[in-house]
Amino acid sequence: MFQASFWVPRYKGTPDTMALVSADSRIAELLTELHQLIKQTQEERSRSEHNLVNIQKTHERMQTENKISPYYRTKLRGLYTTAKADAEAECNILRKALDKIAEIKSLLEERRIAAKIAGLYNDSEPPRKTMRRGVLMTLLQQSAMTLPLWIGKPGDKPPPLCGAIPASGDYVAKPGDKVAARVKAVDGDEQWILAEVVSYSHATNKYEVDDIDEEGKERHTLSRRRIIPLPQWKANPETDPEALFQKEQLVLALYPQTTCFYRALIHTPPQRPQDDYSVLFEDTSYADGYSPPLNVAQRYVVACKEPKKK
């Protein structure tokens, strides 16, 4: 049985906490609706199974008789028309389910930010100051794994922030969004770090972002050109290969087990939806100037606007 299970804190009547109550209520409604859509998907699949069996049996009879009569041609045309309609109906239900999941994830993120502002946390989302590094690395891996795959309708082109497709020029990242942010390190050098958007000022055209690494405990005020939004969908190599970075393309990639982005060359793009990029990080300790191939998820690979080093 499908059951909704999520943390429900005890709130006091402040505006922030009331917003949390509202979010919890909406999430519960969406989970119920998602459950119904999953049931509908299974019912639709079971209903269409009989027609698919008929198609298979008709083909077997044709092979046995070694001919395609007008009768079989007409029958198969009707069976395939029905199968196409069944597939489209199931596809529509699945798209509705995906929309519900996306809305639930968005509400969960909004609730997390509201809880952060209100100073409320739960056991699975501890305050950043108490988060161990191992826990942070696990959360980053989970974020990469759960990044939704873009599934467009026939003829649809992948949208901005799908895979390698950059954000539109007027795009403004929302509070809670993860970005690559160019900041000054303690030694004065500049580096690209993984950060979370706190706010954006349209008056100054600047972001406030938090270093995602709790060891940094820093808030940075940065201009738009120092911020690169991370992908919000994975690109499917099998249907939208043009939405992926290509071999030998220069990128910024999150170095494994760190929260910093470094320049790298694409060694091998993903071949399947679940695959990562294989990248070669710039590293002067190697004779050819590049590290051995390392895997980095689509979530943490963005375009590098700096010229390639010769």
pLDDT tens for 208-247 read 999 998 655 678 999 999 999 999 999 999 999 999 999 9
Residue range(s) defining the domain that contains residue 67:
15-118
Residues 80-105 have a mean pLDDT of 92
Residue 129 has pLDDT above 90, yes or no: no
Token output for 187: 């030694």
Residues 60-75 have a mean pLDDT of 88
Is residue 151 included in any domain, yes or no? no
The percentage of residues in the chain with a pLDDT greater than 70, rounded to a whole number, is 86
Going by pLDDT thresholds of 50, 70 and 90, the confidence category of residue 289 is: very high
| pLDDT score of 10 | 45
Report the C-alpha gap between 293 and 308 in whole angstroms.
Answer: 18
Is residue 199 included in any domain, yes or no? no
Is residue 143 included in any domain, yes or no? no
By the 10 Å C-beta count (0-12 exposed, 13-18 middle, 19+ buried), 53 is classed as: exposed
| pLDDT score of 14 | 54
Is residue 110 included in any domain, yes or no? yes
Give the number of other CB atoms < 10 A from CB of residue 116: 19
Residues 88-97 have a mean pLDDT of 92
| pLDDT score of 119 | 64
Q: Is the pTM of this model over 0.85?
A: no
Residue 170 has pLDDT above 60, yes or no: yes
Phi, psi of 192 (to 5 degrees): -95, 125
Domain count, the chain: 1
Is residue 309 included in any domain, yes or no? no
Is residue 5 included in any domain, yes or no? no
The percentage of residues in the chain with a pLDDT greater than 90, rounded to a whole number, is 65
Residue 126 has pLDDT above 70, yes or no: no
Is residue 127 included in any domain, yes or no? no
| pLDDT score of 124 | 52
Is residue 102 included in any domain, yes or no? yes
